[in-house]
Structure formats: structure tokens, C-alpha cells
Amino acid sequence: MMLRMGYAADLRMRAVVTLHKKDIYEGRMATHVKGANGKKDRCLRLSPVLLKTLRDYYKACKPKEWLFEGQNYDCYSMRSVQKIFQKAKIKTGTLKDVSVYTLRHSFATHLHEAGTDIRIIHNLLGHASTKTTKRYTHVSNRTIQRVRSPLDALMNDKNANFSTYK
């Protein structure tokens, strides 16, 4: 659930482990992150799919103060989250050198590949500069292969008459 929360809400690991139950605003479909990177508070959109799984998580785990409680009802340590991620990585057979922070890059890349404007991604990630955001938005080979050449579009346009350019 912590990894899902990190990806779906675009949270850094520290933000995930320090979320309180009261930071989830179901009615507004928002998550409030206090003192995020740069000591800024952020209010993030809460995914409907994430909300459904959070409800199931609440019922099963009954957190008291922290959203994700470790031993003695304290928040999870970042090291524990890293271990959970490494176990998940092994379970899925991923050979790439990735970390929990990769989820943040994946969030940005998947938005970018789905056609979300870079300025919106920039705003969601809370970066001071769009240059930083651009480093996050990797483009997959699959996406590159789907790009259509402008020449193909012109030549396939049924209204275009290129016979005069012979």
C-alpha cells in the first residue's frame, strides 16, 4: 500500500511514511503533505482507485495516528520501505537498478506519455524549475515507435495533391 500511495499520489518516500490518517481528505479527494521537499506544503489529488484501496487498508490495518504504522504505532522507517520495495522488485523479476524514488519518475513519465502537458506535470511534482521536471519525464521506446512522421501524415492526407510537385 505504501508503494502504491507513493506512485499514485507522487510522493517521496519521506512523505509516504510521515502521512497521518487526517492528511487524507476523502470528501475533497485530496492528500495534504506537510513540509514536503523544500519545506513546502502540498495538496495533491487523490486517485479514486487509490481511495478504494485505502478504504480496504483502513479496514484491515486500523491505523491510529500514522497512515502507515510500524512497530509500537510509530511511523514506518524509510529503510523498511526500501526493503519492501526490494522484495517487490525481486518478486516481479525486475533486473533494472531502480529504487523507491523511481516511482516518482514513473509517475511523471506515465503522465507525459499519456499526453499531459509538461507544465501540469511540473506543477504536480512541485518543482521550482521545468528543467528539473524534464529530467523526470523519460520517454519509452514504445512511445517513440508510435510517433508518426509529419511526412507520413502529409502523404496520407487524401485532400493533399502532391502530383504537381513531380
Residue 11: pLDDT over 80:
yes
pLDDT, one tens digit per residue, over 15-71 is 899 999 999 999 999 988 887 666 778 888 889 999 999 999 999 999 999 999 988
Closest CA to 12 of 127, 139, 131: 127
pLDDT, one tens digit per residue, over 130-166 is 787 777 777 656 666 676 767 777 667 655 555 554 4
How many Cβ atoms sit within 10 Å of the Cβ of residue 154?
Answer: 10
Let me know if 86 is exposed, middle or buried by CB neighbors in 10 A (0-12, 13-18, 19+). Answer: middle
pLDDT at 129: 81
Four-point Cα dihedral 111, 114, 118, 120, nearest 10: -60
Q: Does residue 122 sit in the same domain as residue 141?
A: yes
> Mean pLDDT across the chain, nearest whole number?
83
Domain membership flag for residue 146: yes
Q: Give the pairing type, strands 24-25 and 40-45.
A: unpaired
Q: Domain of 68: which CATH number?
A: 1.10.443.10
Q: Does residue 105 sit in the same domain as residue 86?
A: no
Domain membership flag for residue 56: yes
Instruction: Yes or no: say if 16 and 75 are a contact pair by the CB < 8 Å rule.
Output: no
